[in-house]
Amino acid sequence: MTKKINLTIDGIQVTADEGTTILSAARKLNIHVPTLCYHEDLCVAGNCRVCVVEQEKVRTLPASCATPVSEGMVIHTNSGKVRLARKHIVELLLSEHNADCTKCYKNGNCELQSLASQMLTGDHMFLDLVPDHHYTIDMFNSAIIKDDSRCIRCQRCVRTCEELQSVSALGVAYRGNHMKISTFFEHPLFEVVCTNCGQCVNRCPTGALIERNYVDQVWDAIYDPSKHVVVQTAPAVRIALGEALGMPPGKIVTGKMVSAMKRLGFDSVLDTDFTADLTIIEEGHELLERLKRSLVDRDPKVALPMATSCSPGWIKFLEHTFPELLPNLSSCKSPQQMFGALVKTYYAQKRKLDPRNVVSVSIMPCTAKKFEADRPEMRSSGYKDVDYVLTTRELAIMISQAGLDFNMLPDEPFDNIMGTSTGAGIIFGTTGGVMEAALRTVYELVTGREVPFEGLNITPVRGTEGEVRETSVKITKPKAEFRFLDGIEIRCVVANGLAYAKKVMQKVKDGKANYHFIEIMACPGGCLGGGGQPIPTNKEIRLKRKQAIYAEDMGMPLRKSHDNPEVKELYKDFLGKPLGHKSHELLHTHYTPRKRY
């Protein structure tokens, strides 16, 4: 049993578990101690010093986020000494910070700004140090912009990049007044191992790390009468968008979101879930094809296990970190890019549009999708398949700009064509979702029967954060053409967060893994915890979003990708068959080995 510690905070006697911090003990009492470098997802740094409190009989003010409770300690969170110290610290941060708030993308959603207003820091207590620092802005990346003049050196980004993602693209360089957050030899982000996952963007308390936003470009396209603007929305957007518009976490706002986008002026509001279903068909067949080549043809060149390829942060990570394992990646494009390729071919044909005049926009919980859309290989329609990628946050900005009262909007359905989806497509938004959707389809494809799980809920793959989840599904009595799979256990592994992805792939590289199928999502919790999701995102919020995704899946009339009538129609009218010629041309891609720094 954990030892209990008795202490007093602001005159209130409390008991806390040994090892808990003063900060969490205070929060349990609903005493709000301001913080800045502290983030629930990350290890404690204790470097901003905003959360200092006074401890009786101790000369210094301990940082409450970093100091464990101890027996008999008497804490004051709001003494005069504490108040002045905190004000000094915030003033110091402001003196080093480009506080040109009206020109900042994070204006109104900045933790430093709200601390400053709370502490009434209007009097410019100290000298402005910004002109003495030669701050630079790295704006050469298609997904993330890094503006050092707005950085307060809290190192949340550094900790995120190293701990959660094991990427370490960002690190601390120099010391003293020259200390800054930088990259390998200060190369721009696009030249280093950065995966564009945007987890740093999601945790940056100021505007130092932001997504490259395309809000104005999208408005321009909407206002251009010669353009037909198509928008697709990823599964994880509909369960998080509400948060950015004043709703509590975990609210499903699919109908309102569609209705808002129609009001914004998009010509057609469609669903990425449709191509998520399509991905399952293609990827499922690819897996079976690889299994057949391996088990029946004994082809030594076939790469197994096969890994999912929906998460662009994960793909770039693999390209940098394990380039020798690139053949293991499914050649399927991500749902976003499949959608983009089809919009300017299939959709344009069906709607009798000139693809030149079609603008394809996607709303994603992700910043890496911006980079993905800019990849040179993502032009198989003959045009840029996806013209603009907006994050969930950018869509929320557009909705606010348009003056829509989001809460009061009616629910509306997606447009057609390419607006129909199944529950399998929706769960792409959470870790384990692609695996579950694939198993629902592959098992049925092979055996002719539904997966043997109650209510189609394959709970063993529904991983949680901070773990690598392994499971297997046994194939019995397959159809004649899949007899080679009789009695075989399809061994699956699911991981989220690149730190865990690295563990899985290291095992594969070392030959210590006997998996068949690997699902990786770059972000903690999967897309629902993506870098483009509303800020804040933390463990508790991710859990609520996850519950919402599974609820949305349960509420769908169709729950298996291969039941999607529009997907069937697509194959009949346009693609022919899975892994066919047209599929290869439009829906599959290749990868590029990259450097390790």
Partner 1 sequence: MSESKLKRVDLIFGEYSSAKYKVLADTLKRSNEEILEDLMESGLKGRGGAGFPTAMKWKLAAEAQAKQKFVICNADEGEPGTFKDREILSRVPRKVFSGMAICGKVIGATRGYIYLRGEYQFLLADLERELDQYHENIRILGFDFPIEIKLGSGAYICGEESALFESMEGNRGEPRNKPPYPTTNGYMNQPTVINNVETFVNVVMIMRLGPIQFKLLGTTDSRGSKVFSVSGDTPIPGIYELELGMPLDKFVEEFGDGDTKAVQVGGASGFCVPRKKFKETVIGFEGVPTGGSMMLFNSSRSMYNVLHNYLEFFEEESCGQCTPCRVGCQQLRKGIVAVKKGNKKAQYLDQLMKLSESMKITAKCGLGQSVANSFSSIVYNFKEEMIY
* Shortest Å distance, C-beta 91 to partner 1: 8
Q: Work out which of 126, 140, 223, 597 binds partner 1, going by CB under 8 A.
A: 126
Q: Catalytic residue, from 282, 286, 394, 436: name it.
A: 286
Decide whether 153 or 393 has the Cβ nearer to partner 1.
153
Helices (H), 170-214: 199-203
481 a catalytic residue: no
Check the CA dihedral 465-469-475-480 and report its sign.
Answer: positive
Q: Is 360 in the site for partner 1 (CB under 8 A)?
A: no
Q: Work out which of 68, 323, 419, 536 binds partner 1, going by CB under 8 A.
A: 68
CB atoms within 10 A of CB 183: 22
Instruction: Put the strands of the sheet holding 489-496 in their side by side order.
Output: 306-307, 517-521, 489-496, 468-474
How is residue 38 written in tokens? 């502290």
- The helix-helix angle for 215-223 and 392-401 (nearest 10°) equals 50
Stretch that binds partner 1, among 151-159, 225-233, 360-368, 536-544 (CB under 8 A): 151-159
As to burial, measured by CB atoms within 10 angstroms (0-12 exposed, 13-18 middle, 19+ buried), residue 328 is buried
Please state whether the peptide bond connecting residue 222 to the residue before it is cis, i.e. omega within 30 degrees of 0: no
Closest CA relative to residue 363, chosen from 332, 333, 387: 387
Give the H or E element holding residue 217: helix 215-223
Length of the chain: 597
331 a catalytic residue: no
Decide whether 62 or 460 has the Cβ nearer to partner 1.
62
Stretch that binds partner 1, among 82-90, 218-226, 259-267, 488-496 (CB under 8 A): 82-90
330 a catalytic residue: yes
d(C-alpha 289, C-alpha 505), whole Å: 22
Residue at 104: amino acid letter: C
Place of tokens 């394959």: 458
Q: Is 130 in the site for partner 1 (CB under 8 A)?
A: no
Q: Is 78 in the site for partner 1 (CB under 8 A)?
A: no
How is residue 291 written in tokens? 């299994």
Q: Work out which of 125, 137, 139, 551 binds partner 1, going by CB under 8 A.
A: 125
Map residues 178-217 to x or -, x wherever contact with partner 1 holds by CB under 8 A. Answer: xx--------------------------------------
Q: Is 83 in the site for partner 1 (CB under 8 A)?
A: no
DSSP conformation class of 417: S
Q: Hey, which bits of 27-177 come out as E strands?
A: 54-55, 74-76, 137-138, 144-147, 171-173
How is residue 595 written in tokens? 């450097």
Q: Is 543 in the site for partner 1 (CB under 8 A)?
A: no
Q: Catalytic residue, from 310, 366, 492, 523: name it.
A: 310
Q: Work out which of 48, 230, 241, 304 binds partner 1, going by CB under 8 A.
A: 48
Q: Work out which of 103, 175, 298, 301 binds partner 1, going by CB under 8 A.
A: 175
Q: Is 3 in the site for partner 1 (CB under 8 A)?
A: no
Place of tokens 């030594």: 300
Stretch that binds partner 1, among 83-91, 260-268, 278-286, 463-471 (CB under 8 A): 83-91
* Shortest Å distance, C-beta 94 to partner 1: 9
Decide whether 69 or 236 has the Cβ nearer to partner 1.
69
d(C-alpha 585, C-alpha 548), whole Å: 35
CB atoms within 10 A of CB 463: 25
Q: Is 120 in the site for partner 1 (CB under 8 A)?
A: no
310 a catalytic residue: yes
Q: Work out which of 4, 32, 81, 595 binds partner 1, going by CB under 8 A.
A: 81
The answer to whether 149 and 129 are in contact (CB under 8 A) is no
Decide whether 19 or 382 has the Cβ nearer to partner 1.
19
Q: Is 66 in the site for partner 1 (CB under 8 A)?
A: yes
Decide whether 33 or 522 has the Cβ nearer to partner 1.
33
Closest CA relative to residue 310, chosen from 575, 561, 522: 522
Q: What are the residues binding partner 1 (CB under 8 A)?
A: 44-50, 52, 59-61, 63, 66-68, 81, 84-85, 88-89, 92-93, 95-96, 125-127, 129, 132, 152-153, 155, 172, 174-179
Q: Indicate which residues carry an active-site annotation.
A: 283, 286, 310, 330, 369, 372, 377, 527
